[in-house]
Chains A and B, each alone.
Chain A
């Protein structure tokens, strides 16, 4: 976190100064480890084994916060008899179809819960078209409230006991043997963290790409969620899990999404099939009878009104049929492979640099050469824009500029100080930025581009009114324009995102005012409330009051700084302790109150019991903090929504130096997609040609693919050259002198880098054998003031099954002294005999 969120990290330092303990679990000793109390070096990719070890520790030592776990989580819920754990089936859960390579998740539901009828689960499910970024994936939500519980947590088939059984073999000895974490270090870390639990103490977990960029990344995060639920840390001050979202406004880019499978506010994009024939079918599938998603209809209708304005009417399902339908895997990895196969004509690339940052970036660059046209909007000429004459493939003669058919348009983009708008940071905080200067020359903002492109497209549609252009014609696109550049007024967009009454344009105070009858419009329901009244742009407020900074910016939803903060009070509504009070029930005024905006219906009493047939939020009791689950529980067990299991299981990465010690018969995540094909090959696990474990990571000095940092001298000089980091043991083994050029080779590619020899990378002992790790810094490319080889040429295109992210850590590599051009023969030999998956 200190490496990549130094400004946010000041609060960790502040906490440390006040006595908090900082534990850093990372294969490399980074700037975070330097100031941590405990550093736990471990093998990249063995995270679930480690976290499972912590869960095991908590369960064995009875460190879980029982008074929290029983009421607030589904630990007590009973699972049907026909569920079989990975322990029973040697690495897969019940419902596994080895032919279709998919799970039937029916047996994962709670006992007593009926699965949803097949008709509304949607046809057209092509390979990998499950999972997703929406709240419960692309599944219909059954009525989970029909659960049965054992509040003593003794029932052999309650979640708690199944959890215990599932993680029974994740012992400290296993962690030592296969993660490479010395037992004493593990126990020290476990004791320090797992005793941060209970009424008076909490602990927080922060993670970033060290967990997300794995073939079982979602399950790694799930492990942390289980741990935090067991310890009673969710929804409590100083607790929770902080996903360190990447830079600038990437939180915003999933909230108001640039992802193919979700709509603003984590509504699901409709899938092609029965569920998307009518709006009602969609709502039936994605709404839920109880819990906050009961309001799905209000949000989708308001969104459609925002999109289509007057054209969206009850008669035409508010234009629902104009939304595109998901017909398969349209993720970056999937469509890029389509691009390679010549199935795509063109691409807009804005605010991304796939030539450097894409997985198997060498292959991605070849993909770009298959396009007919490419539009890149950037502040500088990034590698993506210049691939056609500057990429390594062109330089080496593998591609010839004259033969690349792609017509490349490079359009200049405005920088962040040259446009109005909001950033949403990792804290879900929207902060408005005012334009400080006009952009130079022809540079324009994204708003300008999207707006004027839309105008042009609408004009084209008007002149050519085919059915497929109807959506464009219907699009409400009447933003005000200002300034000499005819810039759309960004505040207007924010007001639309906030939501307004269609009749008179009055802004809504929040998402509870949204309606399903078409009388409200709202661009993103979770942001609603950011602009509740004319002139009150809460994202632009800078008068922080109180402990949580209310009055500075606007945290969605409804300015709640800590989500699910109902859990910071006991079931009876009193705070767990004076020290850790956050929100509590005021018995006098019969309202929730406290130091944060309560993430709960203000007037719902702690002892509220929903009457029979109650729906929506009313269907959840007063002691159910997790409103977006239809059962109100924090899910230790995920009954629906994930493709690869209700519980996290240790699998090895797609390339690994060892066989899976927990389940030898199931080496990797059975649902992960390796997408193996020529150019995207994999090493065997283990592989004599690729004995070292590789990971990519970032540095404080540079920013993502380097377009904004390697072009500025003040940043470029801080880390001017591409390097990799190896341990003194590996340097000695390979006779590498510090600083000299080495070639890193994987089954996909080979790059050259300087070797930084440092004790900050450790040789690990895995299963009694030495395993070396190689850290590869990811920031360099062939453009800019300082140039270097591209780290992502080494990694594979692969897909985690829920969110389709690629695996960048824990892969296998080899290291040879000397520059790439000197080692072509050796590279060829290594990649010749590689294993295929």
Chain B
């Protein structure tokens, strides 16, 4: 296929975490903390160097789920499996100084573990807070889109394991269509706040792992308007160059005032 994509649908997710486990098993990812978080059933808390699929558990007391339709207690428990967004314009890829992070032939974003030297710049360049450095290893890690499985004609481990097909893997365009009709269907069924999360209008240019969510993206720690940080380069460099010019002038002035031969 041309562009590999994930469509992850919160309305089909049952919060089983098979995706988290399958990913760790296949990719030999180590444990990421053995401490209770207290945040509902989510002890993983966020994506990171050693968590490439993260199931969120949103307990929302102010939003009425369908189960509570005729009660006075609005409540909803929404699950969503978060993953690296494999952005069309990826902050981590742009920022990587070693060229370790590359775009593959299926348009995914891949960190070559034999090149990465752990400089950490990708970590602060991801507007979704996905990639991180693994302290005991030194390198940066994130979802590989199961590049090795794809090359062997298989689908990613998380999509394979997901029992309800909340995680769907396929071609980007097909999944775009599916996502659109899914949201329409959900709206028709009464899920008024169903929406696609795929920020195409910002400089990120759309993400290849996009989501069907209920409610606002912020509730999922998904930024409503993520940007790829390279858009900041122009103004920053301009400021640097202008400041440099001004300072050069200043130094010239200072030494011009300096009278008397050699110093």
B39-47, B145-153, B192-200, B219-227: which lies at the A interface? B39-47
Most interface-central of B30, B43, B73, B164 (chain A CB within 10 A): B164
- Picked from A9, A39, A714, A759, the residue with its CB within 8 Å of the CB of B21 is A714
- Tell yes or no: B124 within 8 A of A by CB: no
User: With the chains together, A683 CA to B240 CA distance in Å?
Assistant: 76
Interface string of A771-792 (1 = CB under 8 A from B): 0000000000000011000000
Tell me the nearest residue of chain A to B18, going by C-beta: A6
Number of interface residues of B (CB under 8 A): 39
User: With the chains together, A431 CA to B15 CA distance in Å?
Assistant: 27
In angstroms, how far is the closest chain A Cβ from the Cβ of B71?
Answer: 6
Tell me the nearest residue of chain B to A13, going by C-beta: B164
User: With the chains together, A577 CA to B242 CA distance in Å?
Assistant: 82
| Complex interface: chain B residues within 8 A of A35 (CB) | 14
- Tell yes or no: A836 within 8 A of B by CB: no
In angstroms, how far is the closest chain A Cβ from the Cβ of B47?
Answer: 14
User: With the chains together, A185 CA to B163 CA distance in Å?
Assistant: 30
> Is B36 touching A39 in the complex (CB atoms < 8 A)?
no
| 75-99 of chain B: CB within 8 A of chain A | 75-79
Tell me the nearest residue of chain A to B40, going by C-beta: A758
> Is B24 touching A33 in the complex (CB atoms < 8 A)?
no
> Is B43 touching A739 in the complex (CB atoms < 8 A)?
no
> Is B41 touching A719 in the complex (CB atoms < 8 A)?
yes
- Tell yes or no: B136 within 8 A of A by CB: no
> Is B35 touching A31 in the complex (CB atoms < 8 A)?
no
Given A33-B77, A714-B25, CB of A38 within 8 Å of CB of B67:
yes
| Complex interface: chain B residues within 8 A of A434 (CB) | none
- Tell yes or no: A7 within 8 A of B by CB: yes
| Complex interface: chain A residues within 8 A of B32 (CB) | 717
> Is A715 touching B38 in the complex (CB atoms < 8 A)?
no
- Picked from A10, A24, A716, A759, the residue with its CB within 8 Å of the CB of B164 is A10
User: With the chains together, A739 CA to B35 CA distance in Å?
Assistant: 11
- Picked from A10, A182, A716, the residue with its CB within 8 Å of the CB of B165 is A10
- Picked from A6, A31, A34, A739, the residue with its CB within 8 Å of the CB of B36 is A739
| Complex interface: chain B residues within 8 A of A756 (CB) | 38, 40
Tell me the nearest residue of chain B to A39, going by C-beta: B67
Interface string of A680-704 (1 = CB under 8 A from B): 0000000000000000000111000
- Tell yes or no: A156 within 8 A of B by CB: no
Most interface-central of B33, B36, B70 (chain A CB within 10 A): B36
Given A716-B34, A720-B36, A721-B35, CB of A7 within 8 Å of CB of B163:
yes
- Tell yes or no: A754 within 8 A of B by CB: yes
> Is A6 touching B16 in the complex (CB atoms < 8 A)?
yes
B58-66, B173-181, B201-209: which lies at the A interface? B58-66
- Picked from A29, A713, A719, the residue with its CB within 8 Å of the CB of B77 is A29
> Is B77 touching A717 in the complex (CB atoms < 8 A)?
no
- Picked from A717, A754, A758, the residue with its CB within 8 Å of the CB of B33 is A717
User: With the chains together, A92 CA to B164 CA distance in Å?
Assistant: 47
> Is B31 touching A714 in the complex (CB atoms < 8 A)?
yes
> Is B73 touching A759 in the complex (CB atoms < 8 A)?
yes
User: With the chains together, A785 CA to B73 CA distance in Å?
Assistant: 39
In angstroms, how far is the closest chain B Cβ from the Cβ of A10?
Answer: 4
User: With the chains together, A720 CA to B41 CA distance in Å?
Assistant: 11
Number of interface residues of A (CB under 8 A): 46
- Tell yes or no: A184 within 8 A of B by CB: yes
> Is B38 touching A9 in the complex (CB atoms < 8 A)?
no
Tell me the nearest residue of chain A to B67, going by C-beta: A39
User: With the chains together, A720 CA to B43 CA distance in Å?
Assistant: 8
Given A714-B24, A719-B43, A756-B38, CB of A24 within 8 Å of CB of B67:
yes
> Is A713 touching B38 in the complex (CB atoms < 8 A)?
no
The number of inter-chain residue pairs (CB within 8 angstroms) is 112
- Tell yes or no: A154 within 8 A of B by CB: no
User: With the chains together, A782 CA to B66 CA distance in Å?
Assistant: 40
- Tell yes or no: A330 within 8 A of B by CB: no
> Is A9 touching B164 in the complex (CB atoms < 8 A)?
yes
- Tell yes or no: B68 within 8 A of A by CB: yes
- Tell yes or no: B132 within 8 A of A by CB: no
Tell me the nearest residue of chain A to B11, going by C-beta: A35
Given A10-B165, A713-B30, A716-B34, CB of A700 within 8 Å of CB of B16:
yes
User: With the chains together, A721 CA to B38 CA distance in Å?
Assistant: 10
> Is B43 touching A718 in the complex (CB atoms < 8 A)?
yes
> Is A760 touching B77 in the complex (CB atoms < 8 A)?
yes
- Tell yes or no: A828 within 8 A of B by CB: no
| 289-337 of chain A: CB within 8 A of chain B | none
Most interface-central of A13, A14, A699, A718 (chain B CB within 10 A): A718
- Tell yes or no: A404 within 8 A of B by CB: no
In angstroms, how far is the closest chain A Cβ from the Cβ of B150?
Answer: 22
| Complex interface: chain B residues within 8 A of A182 (CB) | 71
Tell me the nearest residue of chain A to B161, going by C-beta: A7
In angstroms, how far is the closest chain B Cβ from the Cβ of A176?
Answer: 13
> Is A34 touching B44 in the complex (CB atoms < 8 A)?
no
| Complex interface: chain B residues within 8 A of A34 (CB) | 14-15, 65, 67, 76-79
Interface string of A721-742 (1 = CB under 8 A from B): 1010000000000000011000
- Tell yes or no: A188 within 8 A of B by CB: yes
Given A13-B164, A760-B77, CB of A701 within 8 Å of CB of B68:
no
| Complex interface: chain A residues within 8 A of B73 (CB) | 759, 762
Most interface-central of A2, A34, A720, A760 (chain B CB within 10 A): A34
Given A715-B21, A718-B44, CB of A723 within 8 Å of CB of B36:
yes
User: With the chains together, A714 CA to B24 CA distance in Å?
Assistant: 7
- Tell yes or no: A601 within 8 A of B by CB: no
| Complex interface: chain B residues within 8 A of A470 (CB) | none
- Picked from B34, B67, B70, the residue with its CB within 8 Å of the CB of A184 is B70
Most interface-central of A699, A713, A785 (chain B CB within 10 A): A713
In angstroms, how far is the closest chain A Cβ from the Cβ of B66?
Answer: 6
- Tell yes or no: A278 within 8 A of B by CB: no
Interface string of A420-443 (1 = CB under 8 A from B): 000000000000000000000000
> Is A2 touching B65 in the complex (CB atoms < 8 A)?
no
In angstroms, how far is the closest chain A Cβ from the Cβ of B17?
Answer: 5
Tell me the nearest residue of chain B to A14, going by C-beta: B164
> Is A6 touching B14 in the complex (CB atoms < 8 A)?
yes
| Complex interface: chain B residues within 8 A of A701 (CB) | 17, 41
| Complex interface: chain B residues within 8 A of A759 (CB) | 59, 61, 73, 75
| Complex interface: chain A residues within 8 A of B17 (CB) | 700-701, 718
Tell me the nearest residue of chain B to A36, going by C-beta: B67
- Tell yes or no: A37 within 8 A of B by CB: yes
User: With the chains together, A39 CA to B77 CA distance in Å?
Assistant: 12
- Picked from A24, A29, A717, the residue with its CB within 8 Å of the CB of B43 is A717
| Complex interface: chain B residues within 8 A of A718 (CB) | 17, 20-21, 43-44
Given A34-B77, A184-B70, A701-B17, CB of A716 within 8 Å of CB of B40:
no
> Is B14 touching A717 in the complex (CB atoms < 8 A)?
no
Interface string of B5-28 (1 = CB under 8 A from A): 000000010111110110011000
Known: A24-B67, A31-B79, A754-B36. 11 other contacts (CB 8 A): A10-B165, A13-B12, A29-B77, A34-B14, A37-B66, A714-B21, A717-B44, A719-B36, A720-B36, A760-B75, A762-B73
* 9 intermolecular pairs with C-beta atoms under 8 Å apart: A7-B163, A31-B15, A32-B14, A33-B77, A34-B65, A700-B15, A714-B31, A721-B35, A760-B77
Binding site for A on B (CB under 8 A): 12, 14-18, 20-21, 24-25, 30-36, 38, 40-41, 43-44, 59, 61, 65-68, 70-71, 73, 75-79, 163-165
The 4 closest A-B CB pairs, nearest first, are A6-B16, A739-B38, A713-B31, A721-B36
Binding site for B on A (CB under 8 A): 2, 6-7, 9-10, 13-14, 17, 24, 29, 31-39, 182, 184-185, 188, 699-701, 713-721, 723, 738-739, 754, 756, 758-760, 762, 785-786
